[in-house]
A and B are shown apart, each in its own frame.
Chain A
């Protein structure tokens, strides 16, 4: 269900459009949103009606949006109303009409391994998601800039930006041309998932190429605002085509519908780590050593140590197949890495069976002084646990890495009662 700010934005946008059109919203509703579908009503019918009849489609995108089949079906159903729909050789939809893509979260949320927009599926990469700025109004320019950086969630009820953005989005919708009646019935239930469809075969024709989508340069980890998670796993993954100097390689997060060799469980873990990091305003890098479990602990510690010393949050995510294992070679190596005092940060072990539930006892028995936490399997709980671990690690990074600036002031402290007066 939509959150408080999304509901507020939807209502305000609808009110604005109704006000401009002279429509009384107490008599009729302009928009369709899932929260308005009553329990007694047929979900498919209600959504199909909105997708067939509404003038515009507002896709409020988050990385989770692309993973939800229902979101993909809604999008696919609506874009088929565009008479000139096509797709370019890079897989980006072209000729889409009346589709407005709106970023809900800060720009970092759409980045994986520090590469901006890398989580946005190719089909949407040619759809404009930022209102045009004619440069005629400073306040409007600031509002657009804020939206671009922070996402719409952080603009709702933040004045004066919110009012400006509402006007802009409402004007975009108002100025859209009415789409011609759809060819045949638009049916939500049978619509394909836009993010998992073979659009080139589906549309049957390749549109004009708009040229290749420019590849963004990756960001580098920053103090107190980035987390580098090193994965120690035997599960298959895809290496990201990015060379970095702080890790042997980065693990690529798969896009929905893309063919990949990554293990599903690991893909879900990568997504949860990123979600937890973004929620704590940390840019996440999924890193791995080469080989993933080095024969000697030093090679991995040498990767972790410089990051920690710079104040970049680090964590080690260890598959329970490797540790706490059966006292094999890998077991000993991992324990040496955990015992090392050269790096700071927690070690996290995803729960897959009963072995890891006894981890606390094991850590105590083996005398490990590092924070070692079990990550529960349900995604929601796992994200909460990850967030907690990241917050703690960031606090540790702040305490450990700061050298006083020359001439820095001290925190003023008020005095308490020195002695009681008569």
Chain B
């Protein structure tokens, strides 16, 4: 079966300095950490900078040795210029388009994305003074490129990219330039429009979104385009003025909200639900170095915490309409190492060394990375049973690990889709079996009471028999279930026994494990020690 085509989302801002590249980089990271194939393209050819956010993960962090988008377009232009009039097949165009972009893609070297997750990066072009980046970018005439038939190339490229990736994220040029037009009008399935709370930014975004909508309504393919306005650099210092600006922005951009949140398209919609997730506060700590929130904030600062990480997560959840998205846990040793690479000044090598030593050796570190990656897959695949931890992993995890992860393995079991089917079968089995069992117990009890009177010893004996029967039933049932093919991977015999007892009390649907009580955690983890 062919893979489902991906989506192209362009991140745009009318004015610079809105944090557009930062938003894109963080969104890319979250999606890759959810097991998605992501391509991030720096199309801001006049002021490229997206690579700064991926610096620790690029083999050539400054792009002094790496060709980029502008080089790909020169190659495409040459290919178009030399196209023989009789040999202008769509297939040839597709090959050229794919090859040109392929030459510039570089995979980020972070190894701890879960299986399937990756970020490929296309920079703007080879940087550095001797390489004439500015001249290569400025001498490329987009109008002439279109005259050569460049629009057709771009369409071919769009199709190729969507087949190769789940998410293609484009960092667009600001303003109303030709490259901004290509990025926002021709290519995307959706535009994430970043703006700050001032008139020029809001009005600019509004005007551009209007023109995109008008263009797409007239375009031949008639494909729909979505918009996600995103308020950035929110400064809480002047509350009164902030409220006025916020109200102005929300009213101005109301018509561009997704249908789910737009009162004009959906009378039951509440725009506030949208804006609650689509605001990013200004945080001075992020102003000096281009740091991903996954590393800038500890993972403990996610969820309800008021941090960049939590806001980025909320933004990603809103854009993807997937509330299970989370930034992945990252080991403190890895985080310290990455932050040192981001640092403008000298890095604190001693601190990194200490953290790594405290981590307990490379073997454990790698093991924990694997567990964290699985956790991320588990959460983002709606608790799919395949992503349960293996028996070995369960055995190796200590109570402290569980506490530091904030995760409860038993809770994972109780929420897995496979387990639900498993529990359903247990439930029906118990209904079928309990009826005759209950009849036998009642008949036995009644006959005993009738023949021997109501002595306390007899009642106690009867109760013991009842309990014994119940235990035998559960033991037999759990043994059968434990051996059945439906048992979720990694589940132990004791867990099956407990779950069989608790089957009638299961929740109606899977819910967020974050709500698990710490007492459950300690209770279920106490018997497992790292070997």
* Cβ of B118 under 8 Å from chain A: yes
B residues 266-312 near A (Cβ < 8 Å) are none
User: Do A405 and B149 have beta carbons less than 8 Å apart?
Assistant: yes
> Contacts A387-B131, A412-B215 given: A157-B185 contact, CB under 8 Å?
no
User: Do B65 and A4 have beta carbons less than 8 Å apart?
Assistant: yes
> Contacts A405-B147, A412-B185 given: A391-B132 contact, CB under 8 Å?
yes
A residues 239-280 near B (Cβ < 8 Å) are 279-280
User: Do B102 and A158 have beta carbons less than 8 Å apart?
Assistant: yes
> Contacts A394-B74, A394-B139, A405-B148 given: A411-B181 contact, CB under 8 Å?
yes
- Across the two chains, which residue of chain A brings its CB closest to B109? A157
Expressed in whole angstroms, the minimum distance between the Cβ of B13 and any Cβ of chain A is: 12
User: Do B148 and A157 have beta carbons less than 8 Å apart?
Assistant: no
* Whole-angstrom CA separation of A403 from B81 in the bound complex: 10
Question: Which residues of chain B are within 8 angstroms of A395 by Cβ–Cβ distance?
Answer: 135, 138-141
* Cβ of A146 under 8 Å from chain B: yes
Question: Which residues of chain B are within 8 angstroms of A401 by Cβ–Cβ distance?
Answer: 81
Choose among B75, B180, B200 the residue that contacts A414 (Cβ–Cβ < 8 A).
B180
* Whole-angstrom CA separation of A299 from B120 in the bound complex: 51
Question: Which residues of chain B are within 8 angstroms of A353 by Cβ–Cβ distance?
Answer: none
B residues 148-203 near A (Cβ < 8 Å) are 148-149, 151-152, 175-176, 178, 180-182, 184-186, 199-200, 203
User: Do B105 and A158 have beta carbons less than 8 Å apart?
Assistant: yes
* Cβ of B60 under 8 Å from chain A: yes
Expressed in whole angstroms, the minimum distance between the Cβ of A74 and any Cβ of chain B is: 23
* Whole-angstrom CA separation of A363 from B67 in the bound complex: 35
User: Do A388 and B132 have beta carbons less than 8 Å apart?
Assistant: yes
* Cβ of B424 under 8 Å from chain A: no
Candidate in A162, A398, A404 with the most chain B CB atoms within 10 angstroms: A398
User: Do B149 and A158 have beta carbons less than 8 Å apart?
Assistant: no
- Across the two chains, which residue of chain B brings its CB closest to A399? B141
> Contacts A388-B132, A421-B252 given: A413-B178 contact, CB under 8 Å?
yes
Interface Cβ pair total, 8 Å cutoff:
147
A residues 137-151 near B (Cβ < 8 Å) are 146, 150
> Contacts A413-B178, A413-B181, A416-B207 given: A384-B107 contact, CB under 8 Å?
no
A residues 1-56 near B (Cβ < 8 Å) are 3-5, 8
User: Do B148 and A5 have beta carbons less than 8 Å apart?
Assistant: no
* Whole-angstrom CA separation of A385 from B147 in the bound complex: 30
* Cβ of B455 under 8 Å from chain A: no
User: Do B148 and A391 have beta carbons less than 8 Å apart?
Assistant: no
> Contacts A8-B59, A157-B59, A417-B204 given: A281-B132 contact, CB under 8 Å?
no
Question: Which residues of chain B are within 8 angstroms of A392 by Cβ–Cβ distance?
Answer: 135, 139
* Whole-angstrom CA separation of A383 from B131 in the bound complex: 10
Expressed in whole angstroms, the minimum distance between the Cβ of A334 and any Cβ of chain B is: 26
User: Chain A interface secondary structure, helix, strand, loop or mixed?
Assistant: loop
> Contacts A150-B103, A391-B135, A414-B212 given: A421-B146 contact, CB under 8 Å?
no
User: Do B178 and A408 have beta carbons less than 8 Å apart?
Assistant: no
User: Do A387 and B130 have beta carbons less than 8 Å apart?
Assistant: yes
Question: Which residues of chain B are within 8 angstroms of A70 by Cβ–Cβ distance?
Answer: none
Question: Which residues of chain B are within 8 angstroms of A158 by Cβ–Cβ distance?
Answer: 102, 105-107
Expressed in whole angstroms, the minimum distance between the Cβ of B198 and any Cβ of chain A is: 12
User: Do A402 and B81 have beta carbons less than 8 Å apart?
Assistant: yes
User: Do B147 and A391 have beta carbons less than 8 Å apart?
Assistant: no
User: Do A410 and B106 have beta carbons less than 8 Å apart?
Assistant: no
> Contacts A157-B59, A224-B81, A412-B186 given: A420-B141 contact, CB under 8 Å?
no
Expressed in whole angstroms, the minimum distance between the Cβ of B150 and any Cβ of chain A is: 8
* Cβ of A196 under 8 Å from chain B: no
User: Do A411 and B140 have beta carbons less than 8 Å apart?
Assistant: no
- Across the two chains, which residue of chain A brings its CB closest to B74? A281
User: Do B182 and A412 have beta carbons less than 8 Å apart?
Assistant: yes
* Whole-angstrom CA separation of A372 from B144 in the bound complex: 26
User: Do B199 and A420 have beta carbons less than 8 Å apart?
Assistant: yes
- Across the two chains, which residue of chain A brings its CB closest to B81? A223
* Whole-angstrom CA separation of A250 from B513 in the bound complex: 73
Candidate in A153, A391, A394, A404 with the most chain B CB atoms within 10 angstroms: A391
* Cβ of A415 under 8 Å from chain B: yes
* Whole-angstrom CA separation of A106 from B206 in the bound complex: 46
* Cβ of A326 under 8 Å from chain B: no
Choose among B71, B77, B132, B210 the residue that contacts A224 (Cβ–Cβ < 8 A).
B77
Candidate in A396, A401, A410, A415 with the most chain B CB atoms within 10 angstroms: A415
Question: Which residues of chain B are within 8 angstroms of A279 by Cβ–Cβ distance?
Answer: 131
User: Do B182 and A411 have beta carbons less than 8 Å apart?
Assistant: yes
User: Do B176 and A413 have beta carbons less than 8 Å apart?
Assistant: yes
Question: Which residues of chain A are within 8 angstroms of B142 by Cβ–Cβ distance?
Answer: 411
User: Do A408 and B147 have beta carbons less than 8 Å apart?
Assistant: yes
Expressed in whole angstroms, the minimum distance between the Cβ of A200 and any Cβ of chain B is: 39
Expressed in whole angstroms, the minimum distance between the Cβ of B41 and any Cβ of chain A is: 15
* Cβ of A330 under 8 Å from chain B: no
* Cβ of A175 under 8 Å from chain B: no
CB-defined interface of B205-221 with A at 8 Å, one 1/0 digit per residue? 01110111001000000
User: Do A222 and B107 have beta carbons less than 8 Å apart?
Assistant: no
Question: Which residues of chain B are within 8 angstroms of A222 by Cβ–Cβ distance?
Answer: 78, 81-82
Expressed in whole angstroms, the minimum distance between the Cβ of B265 and any Cβ of chain A is: 22
Question: Which residues of chain B are within 8 angstroms of A280 by Cβ–Cβ distance?
Answer: 136
> Contacts A392-B135, A416-B207 given: A410-B141 contact, CB under 8 Å?
no
* Whole-angstrom CA separation of A391 from B81 in the bound complex: 17
- Across the two chains, which residue of chain B brings its CB closest to A146? B102
* Cβ of A354 under 8 Å from chain B: no
Question: Which residues of chain B are within 8 angstroms of A281 by Cβ–Cβ distance?
Answer: 71, 74-75, 78
* Cβ of A156 under 8 Å from chain B: yes
* Cβ of B143 under 8 Å from chain A: yes
Candidate in B143, B148, B151, B199 with the most chain A CB atoms within 10 angstroms: B148
- Across the two chains, which residue of chain B brings its CB closest to A403? B147
* Whole-angstrom CA separation of A388 from B140 in the bound complex: 14
Question: Which residues of chain A are within 8 angstroms of B175 by Cβ–Cβ distance?
Answer: 416
Expressed in whole angstroms, the minimum distance between the Cβ of A228 and any Cβ of chain B is: 15
- Across the two chains, which residue of chain A brings its CB closest to B85? A405
> Contacts A281-B71, A392-B135, A402-B147 given: A414-B103 contact, CB under 8 Å?
no
Choose among B130, B146, B176 the residue that contacts A416 (Cβ–Cβ < 8 A).
B176
Question: Which residues of chain B are within 8 angstroms of A405 by Cβ–Cβ distance?
Answer: 147-149
User: Do B107 and A159 have beta carbons less than 8 Å apart?
Assistant: yes
A residues 144-176 near B (Cβ < 8 Å) are 146, 150, 153-154, 156-159, 162
* Cβ of A134 under 8 Å from chain B: no
User: Do A384 and B139 have beta carbons less than 8 Å apart?
Assistant: no
User: Do B81 and A311 have beta carbons less than 8 Å apart?
Assistant: yes
* Whole-angstrom CA separation of A146 from B152 in the bound complex: 24
* Whole-angstrom CA separation of A4 from B135 in the bound complex: 24
Question: Which residues of chain A are within 8 angstroms of B206 by Cβ–Cβ distance?
Answer: 417
Question: Which residues of chain A are within 8 angstroms of B210 by Cβ–Cβ distance?
Answer: 415
* Whole-angstrom CA separation of A391 from B143 in the bound complex: 18
* Whole-angstrom CA separation of A98 from B203 in the bound complex: 67
Choose among A4, A411, A415 the residue that contacts B60 (Cβ–Cβ < 8 A).
A4
* Cβ of A418 under 8 Å from chain B: yes
- Across the two chains, which residue of chain A brings its CB closest to B118? A159
User: Do A411 and B143 have beta carbons less than 8 Å apart?
Assistant: yes
Expressed in whole angstroms, the minimum distance between the Cβ of B191 and any Cβ of chain A is: 10
* Whole-angstrom CA separation of A196 from B291 in the bound complex: 52
User: Do B130 and A398 have beta carbons less than 8 Å apart?
Assistant: no
- Can you list 7 pairs linking A and B with CB atoms under 8 Å apart? A3-B60, A224-B82, A405-B147, A408-B148, A416-B176, A417-B207, A420-B203
Closest CB pairs A-B (n = 4): A395-B139, A409-B151, A225-B78, A415-B211
